[in-house]
Structure 1
Amino acid sequence: MDRKFVEFRLAPDDISALRFGVSPGHELCHAVRALQTPGAHPLQWGWIHAVRDAVPSGAFDLLCVLIGRDGYFPDFLTASPAWDMTADDEVARLREAPLGPMRVDLGKMVERSAGARREALRRMRERPRSARAMIADAWREFWDAALAPHWPQLDRLLRSDIAVRSRRMTSSGIAAMVGTLHDSVDWRGDAVRVRTRLHEEIVDCAGSGLVLVPSVLARRCSVLTERPAQPTLFYPAHGVTETWSRDDGAGEAAIAVVLGAGRARLLHVLSEPLSTSEAAAAAALTVSTASEHLTALRRARLVDRRRDGARVLHWRSPLGEALLAANA
């Protein structure tokens, strides 16, 4: 059987051509698919069991029509992934999505469907403005019920993956990092090459670069290549087990036994750069106590820091991310 590949062509050894991002919308689309076909998503069984009774049926049914069980889903459902992307950003952008490209995406879905689903998609394409509002409402309702309660764990796993990949790229180079993304991804000279089932394309990323986006809920790699979207490669995050969604406090408690409760809380709140006073407030500590704990965490290489004008910012190091992910 002939193998098909998408090649993202980059300048050789140009680390700046690669960046990482997070996509709440991508996670939502694969969450809808996992709930439709639980047997094909064994790593999501814990999450499925936790949320299935809370999923709003109307919103879920609409999203199932739109997203399907496998293959392509509409590009307008996700914004360009970014480091600081939030669900609020995604749904706000969705409510203002350009109607022309949206009709094109819906047309692709019409061609890929049949029966009642095809008719429903055709009606959306014919009335894109009302469809956009209806889809955005369903997106928000599903997110709030099924993903918002678990987003802290999801976000921690995604950022842990990014931290490890970034460190590997800096220390060992692009080729070494790319080779660890997934068994369907490799580095060929000046290109990130992705083995695909149906799609074959060469994408020139000169001037735009390539965004690498880890996913907890996706089973396999996927790509985004059509302009004006940024060339993007989605890949399964490492460290995902069937218990990833559990939030019973055991992870923080286990870390607290080793580090102490205050240091464990600080480590949890430093998912983004915070000043000493901001970190102290988030962890419910005095500034002086937080400063002492941050010094200890930095000496243990669990926290990094840098100066930003008059402020010193602190955030979890790759080692700190890995420690939290292991106890998620």
Structure 2
Amino acid sequence: MKSVLISGGGIAGLALALSLSRRGFAPTVVERADGLRGGGQAVDVRGVALKVVDRLGMLEEIRAHRTRMRGMSVLDGDGREIHRSTESTFSSGRLDSGDIELLREDLVRVLHDRAAAEGVELVFGDTVTALDRAEDEAGTLIRFERAEPRRFDLAVGADGLHSTVRRLAFGPEERFTRHLGMHLAIFSANNFLALEDWQLWLREGEAGYGVYPVRGNSELRIGFGFAGEPLPAGRRGPEAQKALVAERMTALRWETPRLLKALAEAPDFYCDSMAQIHLDRWSRGRVTLLGDAGYCASPLSGQGTSLALVGAYVLADALTGSGGEHRAAYAEYERRLRPFVRLNQALATDNPGGPASEESVERAKNAIALDG
């Protein structure tokens, strides 16, 4: 039985662990956070990714968590409605689509609970610090911040845009990052706007926000977006980031003061640059990369979750087909997945002014066959 260390307990890492466990591998997931991360935006499971969750036996459970939006309003800087739609929203696309929008935390919880129930080893509050002898025929020795070193047959970095595994195996992050000129901040608040299954989007100049209710209209998810260069090193802590976001949003009018008050009080604030990751190869020795760690498309693509789910399935399938022989498996993983990644990354870079066209999304989300 091949042992696999998976760094990252998000969507990509948990989906891979579940897929590998069912195929006779022994995965161990190590997550830096002390538990499952709450908060975050609504994400989309689209196209081929729906087939992945169906094969994992989770499709109906995922559907039960879907958002229930009736439509959206687009507002000018003073909060006046300039457009409304009951057919689609910016976050999910067409409301009559078979695709599923749900909160990221709900999808992670479903994956986690399935993996735990099936005996996957899940380790929280730790992180990888070194990958020793990644080319060794006897496996790679993984060193951790807290736990004792352990040897694994394979190692997978599923630890996001700022992947530690990628840095250890391939080098500094800046070699592979393409900044897209935007930043996104996400946080939750009580539904002080009394929204009922309805989204609001406001933009003026190079800043704007989207607001939508969740949890039976009891909470809001608020997303602030603004243009700018990558965040300076000295402004990457939560409080410094909150101050920077407030600076960039304060010129907006309408409900902005109340939204900024909610930002200051938010317990689950997240902020990062919108960026993509591009590498010539996703593997080195016994180590490979999955999801945002290897080929982040950015939230601007709307396809990060689908890339994580499909990537996990294809990697597990390739490892099974090769009998666990990593060289052949990693080559097959890249051969099958790279065209799919390219099309989905292009949804962000080819449409800098707004959401991609329905035709582009339809083509990209279905641009791979799960069965070879």
Could you say which TM-score interval applies, normalised by the shorter chain? under 0.3
| Larger relative helix fraction | 1
> TM-score by structure 2 length?
0.21
| Larger relative strand fraction | 2
> TM-score by structure 1 length?
0.23
